[in-house]
């Protein structure tokens, strides 16, 4: 007869844990904040099949028509090889097309397709709702200060 299995209950009772040693730790707070933002992002964008990388690329393609692939990789702060994989997926989904740059045959120019523009319109609406939820607890001045601080930290 097999030994009975013991069920181990997981406890997520943070009320019982004194977090005060971490309260003023920037690194700890910077780890928690992206988790909340990514959770909100995935709830909003998963139905559209978008990841942060895919949405970022589409938004920059819209703002920078005919951007070169290398410039997009630099703007997104990703390795060119990683961007190549992301772009291949977007291209396979019919959201962008790559064309050889006539001025530099080794470079590709990237363009959104009509399907890419249509998906981006839907994504922008979902993103606006998500951004409103994320910033709901902030005054406009606090929101601006937070964005300013994050930009400085990332620079």
Report pTM: 0.79
> Is residue 130 within 8 Å of residue 46, measured between CB atoms?
no
Predicted local confidence at residue 4, as pLDDT: 45
Domain layout of the chain by residue ranges:
48-154
> What confidence score (pLDDT) does residue 19 get?
86
Q: What is the pLDDT at residue 13?
A: 56
Nearest C-alpha neighbor of 45 from the set 114, 149, 129, 103: 129
> What pLDDT does residue 8 have?
39
For the chain of 155 residues, list the mean pLDDT of each consecutive stretch of 10. Answer: 44 72 90 91 95 95 93 94 95 94 84 97 95 93 94 88
**Does domain 48-154 sit in CATH 1.10.10.10?**
yes
Supply the pLDDT for residue 101: 80
What crossing angle do the helices spanning 80-92 and 52-63 adopt, rounded to 10°? 80
């Amino acid at each position: 007869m097999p030994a009975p299995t013991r069920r181990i209950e997981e406890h997520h009772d943070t009320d019982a844990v004194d977090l005060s040693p971490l309260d003023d730790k920037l690194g700890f707070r910077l780890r928690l904040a992206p988790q909340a933002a990514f959770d909100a992002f995935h709830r909003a964008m998963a139905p559209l099949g978008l990841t942060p990388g895919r949405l970022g690329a589409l938004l920059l393609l819209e703002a920078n028509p005919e951007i070169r692939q290398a410039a997009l990789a630099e703007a997104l702060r990703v390795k060119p090889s990683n961007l190549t994989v992301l772009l291949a997926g977007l291209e396979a989904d019919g959201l962008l097309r790559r064309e050889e740059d006539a001025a530099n045959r080794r470079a590709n120019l990237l363009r959104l397709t009509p399907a890419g523009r249509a998906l981006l319109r839907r994504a922008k609406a979902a993103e606006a709702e998500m951004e409103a939820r994320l910033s709901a607890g902030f005054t406009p001045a606090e929101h601006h200060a937070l964005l300013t601080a994050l930009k400085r930290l990332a620079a």
